[in-house]
Chain A
Amino acid sequence: DTAVSQTPKYLVTQMGNDKSIKCEQNLGHDTMYWYKQDSKKFLKIMFSYNNKELIINETVPNRFSPKSPDKAHLNLHINSLELGDSAVYFCASSQDSSGGVLEQFFGPGTRLTVL
């Protein structure tokens, strides 16, 4: 069984469109994250949620809006897509972010290409 899954795996779209990437974890974890990996493989956190509550928002443009309908899901919606949004987006989860540092489990990534 896949622990952290993302859909779609590939997403090709035009500038100005709105798109969503879905993430689900079946590990029973409390905390979920979104990371962005650029073309040079550099990884940077975007958001984290703990039990559906936003914990981290790393100066991401407000065109990006995470939504957590329940603690097993953290979706990423992107409005008015720009060329610079082209990247691989990784979802991750961990048991709990408070009081201890725990391993994060990553999804397979979604490669977004904006034309």
Chain B
Amino acid sequence: GDSVTQMEGPVTLSEEAFLTINCTYTATGYPSLFWYVQYPGEGLQLLLKATKADDKGSNKGFEATYRKETTSFHLEKGSVQVSDSAVYFCALSGWAAGNKLTFGGGTRVLVKP
């Protein structure tokens, strides 16, 4: 079945540091890939997405590129802020699977001032 693997946290960074969260997947067909973010005490929000190979999703300074050859969708941000402290989830979805999201285990990121 489909699966998503992402690096375990927590990841602790100083403000303005570079953030990378690795995400790899296994799936049948050609899934769409997502990064969701969960701020403390809140629900999930879509951060960015990519629907086909070589697409780059970007939002709020975060970027991720759909790499089919390495089955990866790593999340990056060049300069993090304290407000980026959250749990980040990589996920995939395919219409053949009823559009259900298969999530990675989540990576907690803590940015210190």
Contact = CB atoms under 8 A, between A and B. Distances in A.
Partners in one complex: yes
A44 B101 CA distance: 8
B95 A99 contact: yes
B77 interface: no
Contacts, number: 68
Given A41-B105, A43-B89, A31 B43 contact: no
B101 A45 contact: yes
Contacts of A69: none
A48 B99 contact: yes
Contacts of B31: 101
A55 B98 contact: yes
Interface string B26-58: 000001101010100011111001010000000
Interface in B93-112: 93-95, 97-103, 105-106, 108
Interface of B: 31-32, 34, 36, 38, 42-46, 49, 51, 87, 89, 93-95, 97-103, 105-106, 108
B99 A102 contact: yes
A97 B44 contact: no
B87 A101 contact: no
B98 A101 contact: no
Contacts of A31: 99
Contacts of A106: 36, 43-45
